Structure 1
């Protein structure tokens, strides 16, 4: 750092395109209905931002099945806009990055690319304050209820499903989510019945149809599932069918959860305005990072909604801890090989890390899975 260089000035940005292989191809209802192929890898976009005084922040975004190269390409184009800027001006920098690529829109792939930068800036800010991100944001709790999803996919036979569910509860995870939405709804019913019987009435269970029901089917299945005392029924309809979700939320006792596929604060605003969910499920990387996530959370809290952020528990544990109403966090162990640190689970809850920032550093494994990098430096 030179004498004239402000300490918080951004002097270096590194982008990495990393592909995380999955041990088993993953199938949900979108695969069984022929809309998608089984998922074999997750494309991760990492942003590492460094300031003139040597402080660093780490951010991430991701894409499943397709879009990884596009996210990296867009991030590479807009990254130079950060150089020479004050890293503390996070809101202004989000707008600057958004306008740098505004011709391709303010949602979708473009904002997902911004998300990696935005998360890195918040991580950096918390590290500079020597605080965990949750504490910087204003935590309401030091642990969050968590549920497991990765053991309940549709490619998993029912007998193995029971083993996975019991193992998760034994490990200290608080709830189990099962994938449903098969073309033959009776198969969904049998799987849910089997898990409920195996775990007993006290264990929280959720189901996720991954947008694969039409309105009549959703009506029928939500009515059938009322008997199981589920925590929620997730994505029974297309992600943008606000009216359909609202009708289900009004009609049934079982809460409706949705929102993970939306890619902007504005889209979530419409979901909230229509009262389409009891549980809102924003995904910070998908909506463009922590900055828009906080806008969504403020709207959701004002509307009296519950919160259950989607995926990326390493990030969302902090954001959920800072939500006023008791939330849930989705436990996915897929991303664990990418980081040197682990999140602790105890008594059905995920403990908020006490390390500064996100409390994460990239592992050597993540570096070895990196296919492409780009580095940008500020010349004073």
Structure 2
């Protein structure tokens, strides 16, 4: 029996970080330290009483724009059958077509798209991964939040040890500083500390092609699981060249905001690891579309951030993925992810398996109701 979307509640949430964090973009003067995460939450309710929850996010800029855009176009979803997710998605795209099909426009739509997938899985009384079709019940997990550049090497080592003791299986640290020798010294110290533990590095787009080739060559000695964003995120040809030149895998894709932008990597012959981010690419619907193409191209997967969403999506990927652990969003939810033995386990709860906390409500700056 069909149902229909009766009401949407949009929430503009600002989550302060306990301490400002810096990656290479800060040390090169391109950005300020990150002090907060801005989120757009959507709660959807149907005429039949079913509910779903989704979110997207922004860092440093764009949060109010996401809220404003979705508030402007969301009414086209009212009265629609929530089972027809892609049909609704296309209607939302066309409602905001004058501002394009990537960036803020699709990141705003992403929050509603995630909520509809959550609703569909809850209505089926299945975890989202099971609704889509899971290949595994858990995924390898690595931590990033302890490896930022404002932290000393000793702090990075201490946080890495704490993460491993908490059951996390891999550690990622930031590189890309103005003095490349400092990067190598820090990587060497952390590699010595971690021994055989999987270790990844992330340059956050701060090398040009010549520096990236030199750094990738130097970093080959450290048995890294991957080198992330050595080049500008939109340099598909450059990333492809590095992925075909070095033994250490190259990883990129987190900053891309549409399926066509990701496809440019495949078209360029990229052979590395793809890191799509569901809230950034426009939601679960386009994420799954690209994941099918990435799998066909034989690419490995390691989704960026938003583990509460990506755990489910990674579990549906045919080959063994990685999931990124950030504890930053945890206060916004009542439930916690299950991490043990180097893996993150898919919740047995229906949908995404998360409900919104009182803390999320307290951090909400503005809400809007769409529908009666």
Query: Shorter chain as normaliser: what TM range?
Result: over 0.9
The one of 320, 331, 346 equivalent to 1:352 is 346
The 8 Å contact of residues 18 and 366 in structure 1, kept in 2 or not, is answered as yes
Within 5 A, what are the aligned runs for 1:99-178? 99-178=94-173
The one of 281, 286, 291 equivalent to 1:297 is 291
Distance 1:376 1:75 in 2: 10
The unaligned stretches of length 5 or more in structure 2 are: none
Choose 369-378 or 27-36, whichever is displaced more. Answer: 369-378
Q: What is the deviation of 1:277?
A: 4.5
Within 5 A, what are the aligned runs for 1:160-309? 160-200=155-195, 202-309=196-303
Superposition TM-score, scaled by structure 1 size = 0.97
Query: What is the match of residue 30 of structure 1?
Result: 25
Within 5 A, what are the aligned runs for 1:57-68? 57-68=52-63
Distance 1:373 1:159 in 2: 43
* Structure 2 counterpart SS, 1:372: strand
Cα deviation, 1:285-331, whole Å, max 9, x if unaligned, reads: 00110000001100000000000000000000000000000000000
* Structure 1 counterpart SS, 2:344: strand
Cα deviation, 1:178-211, whole Å, max 9, x if unaligned, reads: 10000001111111101111111x2000000000
**What stretches of structure 1 move > 6 A for 4+ residues in a row?**
none
Determine whether 1:44 maps to 2:44: no
* Structure 2 counterpart SS, 1:43: strand
Query: What is the match of residue 363 of structure 2?
Result: 369
Distance 1:302 1:7 in 2: 34
Q: What is the deviation of 1:374?
A: 0.1
Distance 2:269 2:317 in 1: 19
Distance 1:65 1:175 in 2: 27
* Structure 2 counterpart SS, 1:35: coil
Q: What is the deviation of 1:159?
A: 0.8
- Root-mean-square deviation (Å): 0.8
Distance 1:11 1:335 in 2: 28
The 8 Å contact of residues 40 and 66 in structure 2, kept in 1 or not, is answered as yes
The 8 Å contact of residues 265 and 292 in structure 1, kept in 2 or not, is answered as yes
Cα deviation, 1:137-163, whole Å, max 9, x if unaligned, reads: 100000000000000000111111110
The 8 Å contact of residues 131 and 356 in structure 1, kept in 2 or not, is answered as yes
Distance 1:356 1:165 in 2: 32
The 8 Å contact of residues 7 and 51 in structure 1, kept in 2 or not, is answered as no
The 8 Å contact of residues 120 and 351 in structure 2, kept in 1 or not, is answered as yes
Query: What is the match of residue 82 of structure 1?
Result: 77
Q: What is the deviation of 1:53?
A: 1.0
Cα deviation, 1:8-35, whole Å, max 9, x if unaligned, reads: 2000100000001100101000000000
The 8 Å contact of residues 135 and 318 in structure 2, kept in 1 or not, is answered as yes
The 8 Å contact of residues 240 and 272 in structure 2, kept in 1 or not, is answered as no
The 8 Å contact of residues 302 and 324 in structure 2, kept in 1 or not, is answered as yes
Distance 2:157 2:239 in 1: 30
The unaligned stretches of length 5 or more in structure 1 are: 1-5
Superposition TM-score, scaled by structure 2 size = 0.99
* Structure 2 counterpart SS, 1:73: helix
Q: What is the deviation of 1:276?
A: 2.7
* Structure 2 counterpart SS, 1:145: strand
Distance 2:364 2:68 in 1: 15
